[in-house]
Amino acid sequence: MSDARADFRSIPSVEVVARAIERLAPDVPARVAVRAARAETDLVRNAVAHGQQASNADAIARAGALRARLVLQEAPQPVINATGVIVHTNLGRAPLSDQALEAVQAAAGGYSDLEYDLGMGQRGSRSNHISDVVREVTGAEAALVLNNNAAAVFLALEAHARGREVLVARGESIEIGGGFRIPDILQASGARLRDVGTTNRTRVEDYARAVHGDTAAILRVHPSNFAQVGFTESPDPAELADLARGRGLLLINDLGSGALLDTAAYGLTREPLIEEALEAGADLVTFSGDKLLGGPQAGVIVGSSEVIEPIARRPLARALRPDKMTIAGLRATLTHYLRDEALETVPVWQMISAGLDELRERGERVMDGVAGVRLVNSSAAVGGGSLPGQVLPSVAIEIADAGTGANELAARFRNCSPPVIGRIHAGRLRLDMRTVLAKDEDALRTALRAVQHARR
C-alpha cells in the first residue's frame, strides 16, 4: 500500500504539466493547456490505480500538447474523396458549387437582410429568401425549408397527424443511416404507425382496407439505402393520391434524395423526381438538400399553401429552421437548376455525368511520372441513400503492392495533407477519379508522389 501511495505522489501536479505544455506549445491558450493537463494527469492517475507506473512530467506534457493542438486544429478537416462514392455521408455528402460557396461566404462574412424587409424598413421573414426559388424549381404552390429531411418528415407528421394514425407500407417502415427509423419518427411526432400490405407487395386496396375514422395520412417513404428485387409491387402514386383525396387523407411522399434531374439519362435506375411526385397528387413532398440536389444540409417540404402553412406555424418550426448560410447556399444551388446549368456547375451532377474518357485523362495527369501505379476500370456509386445497388462505370488509379499492405497504404494516404480517402478492392488500394474534384488534382498528385517516394 505504501508503494502505491508513493506512485501517486510521483504524479506531477496539473499546474506543473500545464506549464510544461505551454513551453512545448506556446501557441496553445493557457486555459486549453490546463484542461489538457488535467485530462492527461487523470489518465496517469487511473493507470497507477491499476498497477502501472506513473509517467514523468515531460511525457505527460507531450501527450497534453498533442491533445491541446487537436482541440485547436481546423475541423471538420478537408479531405480528398477518392472512394468512388459521390454523396458520401461520412465525408460530408454533397460538395457545393463555387457560386454556392461564394453565397455562403457572403452571408457569413457580414450583415444581411436575413429577417429584414428592405422595402418596408421593418422586420421580415427568412423564409422569403428561399421559398420563392424552391417554388420556382419544383412547381409547388408553397415551400418550407428546415435544417434536414428528418426534421421535415417529423414536422409534417407532428402538424397533421398528432394523435392519429398514419398508414405506411410494411416494406417502407425502414431504418436508414444514423438510426433514422420511420417508426421512431412517427412515435416522436405523436402519430401512430399502422402497417399495411406485406414486406414485398403492397396494393392500393391494402391502404383502402386500413382506413378508418382515426386515419390522418398516408406516408410513402423512399427506400433510400436498400432495394427490393423479384416478387415486389407498390401502388401507382396517382392511384394512391386518388384514394387519399377520396377518403379525406393527406398523402405525404418522402422522396429523400431530392432529385431534380433524371438519373436514367446516365445509365442509372430512374430516381423519383420532386415535380413528378407533386403532379401525381401528393399533398406534401419532403426531400434533402445535400444529396442528389447537391446543396447544403437542409430538409425541404413542398405542397399546397393550405397544407404547408400549418406546418410553418408550429412552434418547432422555429427550432428546426435553417441558418443564413444554409439559405444562401441552397438558394445558389437551386438557381443552377433554374438556369439549366446544374450539370456544369453542381459537383454531384458533374461527377454523375462525367464521361470515361474525361476520367481517364484526369487520372493520367495525376499519375504522370509516378511508378508502381496504373489506371484500371472501376465502379462508382451515387451513395447518400440514393439508387442503392446502382453503379457508374469509372476509372481509378490502382497502386501496386510492392510489399506494403493495402491497409497500411490507405493509412499513409490518410496521413497526407490534405488526407486522401481511397477504397480497397481485391487487396489493392484504388483512388477513384469520378469523386476527385478537379480542384484537388494537384493535391492528389502530390500525395501520390509522396507516398510512393516513402515506400522506396
Same fold for the pair 80-88+348-455 and 98-341: no
Higher pLDDT, 384 or 143: 143
pLDDT at 231 over 90: no
What are 448's three cell numbers?
501520390
Q: How far is CA 390 from the centre of its chain?
A: 19
The highest-level CATH class for domain 98-341 is: alpha beta
* pLDDT confidence of residue 456: 64
The confidence score (pLDDT) of residue 173 equals: 84
Show the cell assigned to 234.
407498390
- pLDDT exceeds cutoff 70 at 4: no
CATH of 80-88+348-455, one of 3.90.1150.180, 3.30.450.20, 3.30.1490.270, 3.20.20.70: 3.90.1150.180
pLDDT of residue 57: 82
Question: Which three-class secondary structure state does DSSP give residue 78?
Answer: coil
Shortest CA distance to 424 belongs to which of 440, 410, 437, 434?
410
Compute the C-alpha angle 310/314/317, nearest 5°: 115
Amino acid at site 278:
L
Position 222 scores a pLDDT of 81
Q: State the pLDDT at residue 317.
A: 94
- The pLDDT tens digits of the residues spanning 305-314 come to 999 999 999 9
Q: What pLDDT was estimated at residue 2? A: 44
Domain extents in the chain: 2-72, 80-88+348-455, 98-341
Quote the pLDDT of residue 387: 80
Average pLDDT estimate for 177-182: 72
Average pLDDT of the chain is 92
Task: Yes or no: say if 333 and 183 are a contact pair by the CB < 8 Å rule.
Answer: no
> Which triple of cell numbers denotes residue 49?
490505480
**Could you give the 3-state DSSP secondary structure of residue 157?**
helix
User: Which cell is 25 given?
Assistant: 506549445
What tens digit of pLDDT does each residue of 325-358 get?
999 999 999 999 999 999 999 999 999 999 999 9
Residue with cell 391502404: 207
